[in-house]
Amino acid sequence: MLTNHPPTVAESIAPPLPRTGPALLPVYATMPLRAASGHGSWLVDEAGHEWLDAYGGHAVAATGHCHPDVVKAIQDQAARLLFYSTAVPHPLREDLAELLVSLCPRPLDGVFFCNSGAEANENALGLARRVTGRTPVVSVAGGWHGRTVATLACTDGAGYEASARRAGMPLSTRVPFNDVAAILAAVDASVAAVLVEPVQGVAGARDCSPEFLAAARAACDRTGAVLIFDEIQCGAGRSGAFTAAESYGVIPDIITMAKGLASGLPIGAMVARPWLTDHLKLGDLGSTFGGGPVPCAAAIANLRVIQREHLAANATAIGAHLVRGARALGLRTIQGRGLLIGFGLERAAKEVQTALFSHRILTGTASDPSILRVMPPLNFSREEADLLLDGLRQVLA
Ligand SMILES: Cc1ncc(COP(=O)(O)O)c(C=O)c1O
């Protein structure tokens, strides 16, 4: 955009982004390939090369790229009705809500659909504040919850906190990771919610201890605060159970999910207990695109594949195989659950990630620079896991 006005305050403080031509803002660090297509655990670049995808597009490709059932569901629904808002009921929205509730632990039984992980967390925090009439939130060091104002205020990192502060949002109180005494002390009767990822994704697949999550539950029970599990990254089977909550045996008041729900179409969900949802009146929550028929069709097909092909169990089995293989390579620090795994390295994970690119293998890094994060499709095969291990072996040699 060309302007001839004098610079605004913001323009005179911040140097402009380097625009080298394309209109797309260069705000993302990108991997060294241009995507053309994908199938299963493989991404195909514009030159036709196949890349083993142990990154899953930020852990989204739960049933892999372009699972035929998911593609067909999208095609069929798109041809029938592309979209209508929640002003008109649609059976797929209701069916998906029923399916999600059947897969989540009791007594979570009410679903609100939106479009992203941050939006699901934003709604969860909003609901907790509305019902409790309180504002403060307790979060956990290393937690990553999104880029909306309320979620930035709970996300660990100076830049995120600064953005929340600039918007006037009070920051959450952050307790050290897995510190039982700290969480028990931080949650008092002024606290609206405790927001925690049972397995922290961006921090490097750090899994909370069962004692820590049980303490969070006890603290919320004692004070009336709302326990929110952010399962945006670790949910929908990735942790080895449909919800990480279930695998820990700790049932929160709200679970939020997004990434793996539809294996690629944007959808977020907040699933809550009745003591929270019973308060809701018409118009209290809303989203134009939330629960649109095409993402709902994709999510139903995707969740049925996860169920039918026992992909949560596969995540456990292949995850264990990867952990054994990584130990055999001499890696000592290995964390995570199921197919959300962090490999602790003795050199910068970024270097190892870059070296793996030359083997056409995609992996992720983490906010901890020593952790290489892998979150492949839940139907990653043993052979694909061995290819990843072999790539790691060559790069670490
Ligand atoms: C645990 C967790 N919560 C929330 C989010 C935000 O999700 P979205 O990018 O869909 O808004 C992410 C995204 O990486 C995440 O990993």
The number of distinct structural domains making up the chain is: 2
- Cα-only R_g, the chain: 21
pLDDT in tens, 109-150: 999 999 999 999 999 999 999 999 999 999 999 999 999 999
322-341 burial, b at 16+ Cβ within 10 Å, e below that, comes to: bbebbeeeebeebbbbbbbb
Q: Are residues 109 and 31 in the same domain?
A: no
**Nearest atom of ligand 1 to the alpha carbon of 258:** 10
Name the residue of 145, 255, 337, 375 whose CB sits within 8 Å of the most ligand 1 atoms, as the mutation to test its pocket.
Answer: 145
- List the alpha helices (DSSP H) in the chain: 9-13, 56-59, 68-80, 91-103, 117-132, 149-152, 158-166, 180-186, 210-223, 244-248, 274-277, 293-308, 311-328, 349-357, 382-396
The band of 12, judged by pLDDT with boundaries at 50, 70 and 90, is low
Q: What is the mean pLDDT of residues 7-27?
A: 66
358-371 burial, b at 16+ Cβ within 10 Å, e below that, comes to: eebbbbbbbbbebb
Query: Does residue 378 carry a pLDDT above 50?
Result: yes
Ligand 1 in reach of 364 Cβ (< 6 A): no
Q: For residues 215 and 209, what is the distance between their CA atoms, to the nearest angstrom? A: 10
Q: Which CATH number fits the domain that encloses residue 269?
A: 3.40.640.10
DSSP 290: T
Bridge partners, residue 161, by sequence: none
Q: Are residues 58 and 96 in the same domain?
A: no
CA dihedral sign, ordered 227, 230, 235, 236:
positive
Q: Are residues 119 and 26 in the same domain?
A: no
Q: What is the mean pLDDT of residues 324-340?
A: 98
Q: Are residues 54 and 133 in the same domain?
A: no
Q: For residues 125 and 187, what is the distance between their CA atoms, to the nearest angstrom? A: 15
The band of 279, judged by pLDDT with boundaries at 50, 70 and 90, is confident
322 Cα to the center of ligand 1, angstroms: 24
Q: For residues 394 and 24, what is the distance between their CA atoms, to the nearest angstrom? A: 36
Name the residue of 60, 144, 154 whose CB sits within 8 Å of the most ligand 1 atoms, as the mutation to test its pocket.
Answer: 144
Task: Please indicate, yes or no, if residue 4 is contained in any of the structural domains.
Answer: no
**Tokens in use for 142?**
């290393």
Ligand 1 in reach of 144 Cβ (< 6 A): yes
Q: Are residues 122 and 187 in the same domain?
A: yes
Task: Please indicate, yes or no, if residue 332 is contained in any of the structural domains.
Answer: yes
The band of 21, judged by pLDDT with boundaries at 50, 70 and 90, is low
Last residue of a domain, one of 308, 334, 368: 308
**Nearest atom of ligand 1 to the alpha carbon of 116:** 10
Query: Does residue 2 carry a pLDDT above 80?
Result: no
DSSP 29-78: ---S--EEEEEBTEEEETTS-EEEESSHHHHT-TT-BT-HHHHHHHHHHH
Query: Does residue 3 carry a pLDDT above 70?
Result: no
Q: Are residues 49 and 144 in the same domain?
A: no
Ligand 1 in reach of 191 Cβ (< 6 A): no
Last residue of a domain, one of 279, 308, 337: 308
Site of tokens 């095609």: 75
Q: For residues 150 and 163, what is the distance between their CA atoms, to the nearest angstrom? A: 10
Task: Please indicate, yes or no, if residue 1 is contained in any of the structural domains.
Answer: no
Q: What is the pLDDT of residue 11?
A: 53
Query: Does residue 339 carry a pLDDT above 80?
Result: yes
pLDDT in tens, 220-239: 999 999 999 999 999 999 99
Q: What is the mean pLDDT of residues 262-288?
A: 97
Q: Are residues 153 and 17 in the same domain?
A: no
Q: Are residues 208 and 291 in the same domain?
A: yes
Task: Please indicate, yes or no, if residue 161 is contained in any of the structural domains.
Answer: yes
Q: What is the pLDDT of residue 7?
A: 53
Q: Which CATH number fits the domain that encloses residue 33?
A: 3.90.1150.10
Cis ω before 107 (30° cut-off from 0)? yes
Task: Please indicate, yes or no, if residue 141 is contained in any of the structural domains.
Answer: yes
Q: For residues 53 and 44, what is the distance between their CA atoms, to the nearest angstrom? A: 10
The band of 10, judged by pLDDT with boundaries at 50, 70 and 90, is low
DSSP 305-337: HHHHTTHHHHHHHHHHHHHHHHHHTT---EEEE
Q: Are residues 349 and 272 in the same domain?
A: no
Ligand 1 in reach of 197 Cβ (< 6 A): yes
| Cβ atoms of residues 230 and 196 within 8 Å | yes
Domain extent at residue 357: 9-63+310-396
Q: What is the pLDDT of residue 4?
A: 46
Q: For residues 155 and 140, what is the distance between their CA atoms, to the nearest angstrom? A: 9
Ligand 1 in reach of 387 Cβ (< 6 A): no
Q: Are residues 26 and 113 in the same domain?
A: no
Q: What is the pLDDT of residue 22?
A: 79
**φ/ψ (deg, to 5) at 7:** -60, 140
Name the residue of 28, 200, 259 whose CB sits within 8 Å of the most ligand 1 atoms, as the mutation to test its pocket.
Answer: 259
Task: Please indicate, yes or no, if residue 108 is contained in any of the structural domains.
Answer: yes
Q: How big is the chain, counted in residues?
A: 397
pLDDT in tens, 167-224: 999 999 999 999 999 999 999 999 999 999 999 999 999 999 999 999 999 999 999 9
What share of the chain in percent tops pLDDT 70? 95
Query: Does residue 313 carry a pLDDT above 50?
Result: yes
Q: Whose CA is nearest to atom 4 of ligand 1?
A: 145
Q: Taking the CA of residue 296 as centre, how many other CA atoms within 13 Å lie in the half-sphere pointing to its CB?
A: 28
Q: Are residues 300 and 265 in the same domain?
A: yes
**Average pLDDT along the chain:** 95
How many C-beta atoms lie closer than 10 Å to residue 106's C-beta?
8
Task: Please indicate, yes or no, if residue 41 is contained in any of the structural domains.
Answer: yes
pTM, whole model, 2 decimals?
A: 0.95
**Tokens in use for 64?**
């892999």
Task: Please indicate, yes or no, if residue 246 is contained in any of the structural domains.
Answer: yes
Q: Are residues 78 and 197 in the same domain?
A: yes
Site of tokens 């880029």: 147
CA dihedral sign, ordered 248, 249, 254, 258:
positive
Q: What is the pLDDT of residue 202?
A: 98
Q: What is the mean pLDDT of residues 346-361?
A: 98
Q: What is the mean pLDDT of residues 28-37?
A: 96
Q: Whose CA is nearest to atom 16 of ligand 1?
A: 233
Q: What is the pLDDT of residue 73?
A: 98
pLDDT in tens, 68-84: 999 999 999 999 999 99
Last residue of a domain, one of 291, 308, 325: 308
